C-alpha cells in the first residue's frame, strides 16, 4: 500500500472493550429465517459479539451444493438486526451483491478469498464501492501471496474506502496439516508490519475447519494481537447445510471466549526494562549473524572464482548433500527446528548459486549446469 494510506482507526466504527477483541459471529450460511433468527438471538446474549455474519451468496465448488438464499436472506438479516441490535456483515463477490446488500442496510461487507485471487473482480468491487462509507473487510487469497492480499486492500482503499480491515483466514496448503487452511502466521504478521494502522481480524473457523481446534487458534490469534475474531456459529451445527464441522453453538462459543487469556499489550516499567535488555541482546546477535553471512559469501565468491579458473562446473551435488545432512544434524541437536534449518540453508544456497553464476557470467558464458557451493 502507499506509505501513508488513509485508514480510520477501528474504534469509531467497531468499538472494542479494552484489550478484549470484538467478535463477528453467525452461521456459515443463512439457511432459513428461523435458523438465522434463533442463532442471532442466542449470539446477542454474548457481550463480545458485536456483528452478526452470514453467507447470503455462497461461492460453492460444485453447482449442486447449497449456494445461499440470496436477497431473501437479506430480509432475514434486517429482522435479526431490528430484534437484537447486532450489526450485520455479509460477503459480496460482484457489484450486484454490493448494491443489494447496501439497499438492505448491511453495516459492513467482506470480500472472500476466492474473489481476492482475481484483481479484475476486486477492481469491479472497488468501483462499485466508490463514494460509499461502508466498512470493508478483505480476506487473504487462497494461496500464500502477500502481494495479492495487499493489492486487493490497495484497490479498495484507493476507491476511497477508509474503514478497512483485513481478515486472516489461512492459506491452502498441500502438505499434510491438521488445519483446513494453514495459518502461516508470518504472512499476517508481515502485513501488520507493512500497514501498521490496518486492523486485522482472524477467521479461526476457516483456519481450523474443526471445532476441536478453535480454542487453541483463537488464543494464538489473541497472543499475536489480532483486533477481532470471526467465528462461525449455528444453533444446531449438525444440521447445517454448509461447513457443519467448523461451526459451534452460541453456548460453546460463550465457553470458548470465557477460556481465552487476554494478555496485556504492555507491562510494568521493570518488565519493559528487562524486555529492552533482551531485545538489545537480539540486536547484537543479529549483527553478528549478518557479519557471518557476509564473510560466508566472500568465501563463496572465492570458490566461484577458483572453479571458473579451473573450468569446473558450479554444480557439486555431493557437497550440497553433505551440507544439508551435516548442518541439519548439528542444528537439531542444538534444539533448532528441522524445517526452519532446511528453509534457511536453501535460502543461503540460492544466494550462493546466484553469486557464483554472476562470477561465471563475467566475460564468458557459464557452464551448462548449475547447483550448490
CA nearest neighbour of 104 among 77, 142, 129: 77
Residue 369, pLDDT > 50, answer: no
**Domain at 174, CATH number:** 3.20.20.70
Count of structural domains within the chain: 2
Residue 365, pLDDT > 60, answer: no
Percentage, residues of the chain above pLDDT 70: 93
Tens digit of pLDDT for each residue in 142-199?
999 999 999 999 999 999 999 999 999 999 977 778 899 999 999 999 999 999 999 9
Neighbours of 265 (CB within 10 A): 8
Residue 118, pLDDT > 90, answer: yes
Asked if residue 213 and residue 92 are part of one domain, the reply reads yes
Asked if residue 205 and residue 299 are part of one domain, the reply reads no
Neighbours of 228 (CB within 10 A): 25
Asked if residue 143 and residue 31 are part of one domain, the reply reads yes
Return mean pLDDT, the chain. Answer: 90
- State the pLDDT confidence band at 368, using cuts at 50, 70 and 90: very low
Per-residue pLDDT at 12:
79
Asked if residue 233 and residue 287 are part of one domain, the reply reads no
Asked if residue 345 and residue 250 are part of one domain, the reply reads no
Q: Is 163 helix (H, G, I), strand (E, B) or coil?
A: coil
Asked if residue 322 and residue 218 are part of one domain, the reply reads no
Asked if residue 228 and residue 115 are part of one domain, the reply reads yes
Asked if residue 198 and residue 284 are part of one domain, the reply reads no
Tens digit of pLDDT for each residue in 36-59?
999 999 999 999 999 999 999 877
CA nearest neighbour of 87 among 44, 58, 39, 143: 44
**Domain at 279, CATH number:** 1.20.59.10
Average of per-residue pLDDT across 197-222: 96
Name the CA radius of gyration of the chain, rounded: 25
Tens digit of pLDDT for each residue in 332-361?
999 999 999 999 999 999 999 899 899 988
| Packed helices 317-333 and 338-361: angle between N→C axes, nearest 10 degrees | 150
> In which residue are the cell numbers 472494542 written?
16
String of DSSP letters for 1-33: --SS-----STTTS--BTTBPEEEEE-SB---H
Pairing of strands 136-139, 108-111: parallel
Q: Range with the lowest mean pLDDT among 6-10, 31-35, 121-125?
A: 6-10
Residue 77 in any domain: the answer is: yes
Per-residue pLDDT at 347:
93
Q: Range with the lowest mean pLDDT among 10-19, 43-52, 89-98?
A: 10-19
Given a contact cutoff of 8 angstroms between Cβ atoms, the answer to whether 218 and 229 are in contact is yes
Per-residue pLDDT at 370:
43
Tens digit of pLDDT for each residue in 53-86?
999 987 766 676 677 788 999 999 999 999 999 9
Residue 373 in any domain: the answer is: no
Residue 4, pLDDT > 70, answer: no
Domain that residue 280 falls in: 269-361
String of DSSP letters for 292-350: HHHHHHHHHHHHHHHHHHTT--S--HHHHHHHHHHHHHHHHHTT--HHHHHHHHHHHHH
Residue 61 in any domain: the answer is: yes
Asked if residue 248 and residue 217 are part of one domain, the reply reads yes
Check residues 4 and 43 and name the one with the higher pLDDT. 43
Burial of 120 (0-12, 13-18, 19+ CB in 10 A): exposed
Residue 312 in any domain: the answer is: yes
Helix (H) or strand (E) holding 229: strand 228-232
Amino acid at each position: 500500500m502507499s506509505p501513508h494510506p488513509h485508514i480510520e482507526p477501528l474504534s469509531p466504527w467497531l468499538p472494542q472493550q479494552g484489550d478484549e477483541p470484538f467478535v463477528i459471529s453467525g452461521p456459515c450460511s443463512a439457511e432459513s429465517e428461523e435458523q438465522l433468527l434463533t442463532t442471532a438471538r442466542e449470539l446477542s446474549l454474548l457481550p463480545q459479539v458485536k456483528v452478526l455474519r452470514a453467507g447470503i451468496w455462497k461461492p460453492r465448488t460444485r453447482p449442486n451444493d447449497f449456494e445461499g438464499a440470496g436477497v431473501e436472506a437479506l430480509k432475514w438479516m434486517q429482522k435479526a438486526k431490528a430484534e437484537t441490535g447486532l450489526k450485520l456483515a455479509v460477503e459480496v463477490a460482484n457489484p450486484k451483491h454490493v448494491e443489494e446488500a447496501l439497499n438492505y442496510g448491511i453495516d459492513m461487507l467482506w470480500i472472500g478469498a476466492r474473489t481476492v485471487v482475481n484483481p479484475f473482480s476486486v477492481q469491479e468491487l472497488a468501483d462499485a464501492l466508490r463514494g460509499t462509507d461502508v466498512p470493508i473487510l478483505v480476506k487473504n487469497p487462497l494461496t500464500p501471496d502477500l502481494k495479492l492480499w495487499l493489492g486487493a486492500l490497495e484497490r479498495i482503499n484507493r476507491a476511497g474506502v477508509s474503514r478497512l480491515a483485513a481478515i486472516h483466514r489461512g492459506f491452502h496448503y498441500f502438505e499434510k496439516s491438521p488445519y483446513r487452511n494453514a495459518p502461516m502466521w508470518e504472512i499476517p504478521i508481515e502485513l501488520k508490519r507493512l500497514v501498521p494502522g490496518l486492523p486485522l481480524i482472524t477467521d479461526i473457523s476457516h483456519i481450523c475447519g474443526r471445532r476441536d481446534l478453535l480454542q487453541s487458534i483463537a488464543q494464538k490469534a489473541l497472543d499475536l494481537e489480532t483486533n477481532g475474531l470471526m467465528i462461525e456459529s449455528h444453533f444446531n451445527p449438525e444440521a447445517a447445510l454448509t461447513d457443519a464441522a467448523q461451526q459451534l453453538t452460541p453456548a460453546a462459543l460463550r465457553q470458548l471466549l470465557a477460556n481465552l487469556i487476554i494478555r496485556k499489550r504492555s507491562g510494568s516499567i521493570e518488565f519493559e526494562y528487562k524486555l529492552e535488555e533482551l531485545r538489545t541482546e537480539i540486536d547484537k546477535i543479529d549483527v553478528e549473524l549478518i557479519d557471518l553471512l557476509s564473510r560466508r559469501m566472500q568465501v563463496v565468491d572465492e570458490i566461484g572464482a577458483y572453479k571458473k579458473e579451473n573450468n569446473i562446473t558450479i554444480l557439486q551435488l555431493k557437497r550440497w548433500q553433505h551440507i544439508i545432512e551435516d548442518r541439519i544434524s548439528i542444528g537439531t541437536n542444538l534444539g533448532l527446528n528441522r524445517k526452519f534449518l532446511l528453509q534457511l540453508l536453501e535460502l543461503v544456497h540460492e544466494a550462493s548459486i546466484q553469486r557464483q553464476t554472476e562470477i561465471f557470467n563475467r566475460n564468458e558464458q557459464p557452464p551448462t549446469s548449475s547447483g550448490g557451493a
